[in-house]
Amino acid sequence: MRDMVEPAASGGEVPAHLAVIMDGNGRWANARSLPRQAGHRAGVKAARNLVEACGDAGVRTLTLFAFSSENWDRPRHEVAFLIELFGRALERELKRLHDNGIRLRFVGDLDRFPDGLRHRISEAERLTAENDRMRLNIAVGYGGRWDILQAARRLAASVETGELSAADIDSECFAGALSLGDMPEPDLFIRTGGERRISNFLLWNLAYTELYFCDTLWPDFDATELATALRWYAGRDRRFGRAEDDESVGATDDVDQVAGRHA
């Protein structure tokens, strides 16, 4: 990874937080008459390249959707392959990630994963906990609804013990209980693979994220494709529901006059 470009503030040229649905591995493999597994292997390479390209671009936080809560419903052999691949990729990439100053976090319901993998996950988080060059969040066994439910359950438990009163649960407090509650919300979301949907990714967090969809299948998504998405993002006008001052409306105009003028 080259030296990081100084990142822009949120809403500036470079998204501070990028969230990605890496979709299309199976179709990539099908198009080459290969088994889906080959697509997933190629997908891991694309993910590795993306981490590097994001570091070069100055993205400070990258969240990758690797395995959804619904992906458990895929055929058993595909689920087993994905879990195995995930474990191997973690083992192979960890040193490089650590050497590059990347802090890892895994978000999702990890209870269904094998003990060995869960152990490796917490070791990786512990090893990289002090790194501050870039944050890499991997969503595995993750669902946006699960995340909202686990936050609600945790807050309800704090109310039960009297640590918190129900009236204190405002938007900030609730957001803080989500898996990525200590990070800024994603500025840019990318989904590859042609589908225009969120598929139960970060439901709360994407409220004001810029959404970018492209047809490129995930294994083909490279630094050039990322640059295209970042250029698109840089051209967005993020309003967050607000409006610019309209100078054609005088300060003394009242609401009825303005409404009449536009009737």
- 188, containing H or E segment: strand 188-191
Q: How many CB atoms lie within 10 A of CB 157?
A: 11
Distance in Å, CB of 23 to Mg ion, minimum: 4
Catalytic site residues?
A: 23, 71
151 binds, options Mg ion, ligand IPE, none, Cβ within 5 to 8 A by partner type = none
71 binds, options Mg ion, ligand IPE, none, Cβ within 5 to 8 A by partner type = ligand IPE
Structure tokens at 77: 């052999």
- 29, containing H or E segment: helix 25-31
- State which of residues 18, 19, 23, 42 lies at the interface with ligand IPE (CB under 6 A): 23
Fill in the amino acid letter for 172. E
> Taking CB under 6 A as the rule, does residue 10 contact ligand IPE?
no
Closest CA to 88 of 64, 47, 66, 120: 120
Site for Mg ion in 64-123 (CB under 5 A): none
> Taking CB under 5 A as the rule, does residue 23 contact Mg ion?
yes
Distance in Å, CB of 136 to ligand IPE, minimum: 15
Distance in Å, CB of 245 to ligand IPE, minimum: 41
Tell me the DSSP string of 123-141. HHHHHTTT--SEEEEEEEE
**Interface residues with ligand IPE (CB under 6 A)?**
21-27, 65-68, 71, 82, 193, 195, 197, 199
